[in-house]
Chain A
Amino acid sequence: MTSQPMVADQETRTPTPSAWWARLPWLRIGIVLAAVVAAIVLAYLRSGSTVVVTQAVVTGILIGGVYGLVAMGLTLIFGVLDIVNFAHGSFLAIALFLSYYLVAGMGMHPYLALLIVLPAMFLLGALVQRFVLAGAMGKPLENQLLITLGISLVIENSLLLFFGANPRSVSLPGDQGVAILGAVAELSRILAFVGALVLAGLLFLLLRRTSLGTAIRAVAANDAGAQMVGIDTRWIYMLTFAIGTACAGAAGVLVAPLVTIEPVTGALFNIIAFVVVVLGGMGNVVGALLGGLVVGLAEQLGALLLPGQSPLLVVFIVFVLVLLLRPQGLFGRSGS
């Protein structure tokens, strides 16, 4: 990405020294909540069944948490490295296959796979950044877009080449439906949601409460300035990309019991992650989590509102509307 803002905007960000919660855009959050409530009411009118709607809301929120985790990694990479990473979903696909082999091949518990997949994906991210992407830092947006596209082609099709296209699955021992708020959700879905929230919380603490996090945020805000105060930006770029990739990896492990594991599964998550990132505001980590919930709900309620159409269609309609009307994202601070 070039240093110019991608959206013509005369205003510049002025930091205000108030507490972070006071700076949250409460009005827009209110509007989004109102839109969600309206969608729920419409879905109820359309389907005429509370059970169906409740089920959709619960499922939407649960999967939305995972979308949020995937998108947090993507948005972090965008915010710090200014790279639109089209390979993010393919990293998730690698994590899916890794989980599959750890679980099906070595009999590991699906969630214990996290202990191996997380560091492995972190390392992979660091290597890819250091040896492939570093050469394109500061180059025009198109070059970086294309280079990550190239990486995603290599990963996705290597998976196809080595593992073939047959769908696989991971099953969680003792996975069963759990009654929750009048709906039923598989235990694996609930655990994926909880796991995503915990990891998102850890990431948030890492960014807010550690010196590494401070350095990362400094580079995101102004890399030249960060360099002047003695931060090694190349190191931060590498670590950030590694952390972002690890987020995709973690999400991969968490969703492994929920999805069909194929080389193309990553592409689906990639597109959704982009939608979430734009909704949350590119570079906005908290926004990504909220955006994930919105997309999860839009997908599930959309299926009720437009029966017979793909649930993703509604997600894309929301996406295009947000891109056109508010490209800085639903939850970005005004003018920034």
Chain B
Amino acid sequence: MTTTTQPAAATKALPKLPWSRHLLVTAVLAVVLIPLPMLLDPAAEAVAIRVLLFAIMSISWNIMSGFGGLFSFGHAAFFGIGAYSTAWLQVEKGVSPWIGMAVGVVIAALFALVMGVLALRYKLKGAYFALVTLAFAEMLRLWATNSDLVNRAVGYHVPLRPEESWWWMQFAPDSANYFFIALGLMILGLLVSILFLRSRAGQFALAARDDDEASAALGIPVVRYKVLTMMVSAALMATAGTLYLQYYLFIDPDLAFGSAMSIQAILPAVIGGVATIWGPVIGAVVLGPLTDITATLLRNPPPFLDFLAGRGGLDVVVYGILLVIIILVLPKGIYGALRDRWSRR
């Protein structure tokens, strides 16, 4: 081949990598959002916290199912482990939720390790893999519902403390501190997903998602990196469980491990754009306020919707319709579609 000795000067400079830009946007986002609680009334702040919670959950789902290509239908398993670890340690043992969060992160990652090794060792793919994740979450739900260890179907109320405390992660209901914690966790989630993708492990995970045989032929231990991706995702999801518990002060098996929670982790990423850094955040911003908008609508319904006054479920109906429309019209999600349009120009 004659090109071998061609001087390097003849080649184009290597294109810039997107990571520093992603990190910059993350930093800007953090700085811009910090003063937000001063501008929001308590109701709007509650919506903002729900948006952040959605975003954390969906960033987590996106790591495993978007970047890792391992479709999870049971992300509630990791969420519930986080929430229940925190609740159990706090209520039964008097341990700070921060430590509970750390314990939940570790247990969730170990749970993902077991689940991943089992499912991937037996080469489950596609729908079969998704069904295994669903089955594991359901088994946890059924176990928690009938286990004295975790208070059966009753679940846990976090005991109210007389004064605000960072150590106990408990504040007045409209305190901005909940917002700051949620924001911190979401920024952490973004950093995790950006830095993971940039790392060797993340690159191997992407390659394994695209083609596991070709990856293995290059010497990449595919199962190891897929399981690692699941563990990173699970760990992040567990922190959302702790946050949920501390903010709403209550958890039970159906809330924690039920498929509604898994679905809430899936929807923002799909609507914003699967396998993109910003898709889950954009999806969360779209979906988070819907519950309040529909609830307001049904509290004072327009005349033709009168018969629906006080009913629930409209928000999820809208989620469902959005989901179907997005899949049919914008299969790459909002961010994915916008990105394609920009890069085509």
Contacts and interface: CB of A to CB of B under 8 A. Distances in A.
Given A149-B263, A150-B323, A310 B142 contact: yes
B127 interface: yes
Interface stretch (A23-31, A52-60, A137-145): A137-145
Interface string A293-327: 00000000000000011101100110110011101
Interface string A102-117: 0000000000000000
A161 interface: yes
B143 to A, nearest CB: 7
A135 interface: yes
Contacts of B73: 145
A319 B270 CA distance: 28
Interface string A150-165: 1111101111111011
A146 interface: yes
B95 interface: no
A154 B146 contact: no
Contacts of B65: 142
Given A84-B127, A323-B124, A325-B122, A132 B324 contact: yes
Interface stretch (B21-29, B225-233, B310-318, B335-343): B310-318
A146 B266 contact: yes
A154 B127 contact: no
A269 interface: no
Name, among A146, A309, A319, the residue most crowded by chain B CB atoms within 10 Å (CB to CB).
Answer: A146
Contacts of B331: 139, 143
Contact of A141 (B126, B146, B327): B126
A157 B316 contact: yes
A319 B135 contact: yes
Interface string A269-292: 001001100100010000000000
Contacts of A334: none
A149 B322 CA distance: 11
A10 to B, nearest CB: 12
A146 B127 contact: no
B215 interface: no
A153 B124 contact: no
Interface in A141-190: 141-143, 145-147, 149-154, 156-162, 164-165
Contacts, number: 138
Given A271-B138, A323-B124, A324-B124, A157 B320 contact: yes
B311 A327 contact: no
A267 B262 CA distance: 14
Contacts of A275: 135
Contacts of B131: 274, 278, 319, 323
A7 interface: yes
* Count class of interface residues, chain B: 35 or more
A274 B328 CA distance: 25
Name, among A145, A151, A267, A325, the residue most crowded by chain B CB atoms within 10 Å (CB to CB).
Answer: A145
Contact of B127 (A6, A135, A151): A6
Contacts of A84: 127, 130
Contacts of A319: 131, 135
Contacts of A320: 132, 135-136, 139
B128 A7 contact: yes
A141 B71 contact: yes
Contacts of A132: 324, 328
Nearest to A161: B313
A7 B132 CA distance: 14
Interface residues of A, number: 51
A6 B126 contact: yes
Given A153-B320, A154-B324, A164-B311, A327 B263 contact: no
Contact of A145 (B71, B118, B139, B259): B71
Name, among B132, B143, B317, the residue most crowded by chain A CB atoms within 10 Å (CB to CB).
Answer: B317
A157 B317 contact: yes
B91 interface: no
A2 interface: yes
A146 B142 contact: no
Nearest to A313: B142
Interface in B117-172: 118-119, 122-128, 130-132, 134-136, 138-139, 142-143, 145-146
Contacts of B142: 309-310, 312-313, 316
B324 A150 contact: yes
B188 interface: no
A149 B319 CA distance: 10
Contact of B323 (A147, A161, A316): A147
Contacts of A2: 126
B74 to A, nearest CB: 11
A145 B320 contact: no
B29 to A, nearest CB: 27
A136 interface: yes
B321 interface: yes
Given A142-B71, A147-B328, A308-B146, A154 B321 contact: yes
A86 B198 CA distance: 35
A316 B126 CA distance: 19
Nearest to A155: B320
Interface string B244-259: 0000000000000001
Interface of A: 1-2, 6-8, 84, 132, 135-136, 139, 141-143, 145-147, 149-154, 156-162, 164-165, 263, 267, 271, 274-275, 278, 282, 308-310, 312-313, 316-317, 319-320, 323-325, 327
10 contacts: A1-B127, A139-B331, A147-B328, A150-B322, A156-B316, A271-B134, A312-B142, A316-B142, A323-B135, A327-B122
Given A6-B124, A156-B316, A324-B122, 13 more contacts: A1-B127, A6-B126, A147-B328, A149-B320, A150-B321, A150-B323, A153-B319, A157-B315, A161-B314, A162-B311, A267-B259, A317-B139, A320-B136
The 5 A-B residue pairs with the shortest CB-CB distance in the complex, in nearest-first order = A153-B320, A150-B323, A160-B313, A154-B320, A157-B313
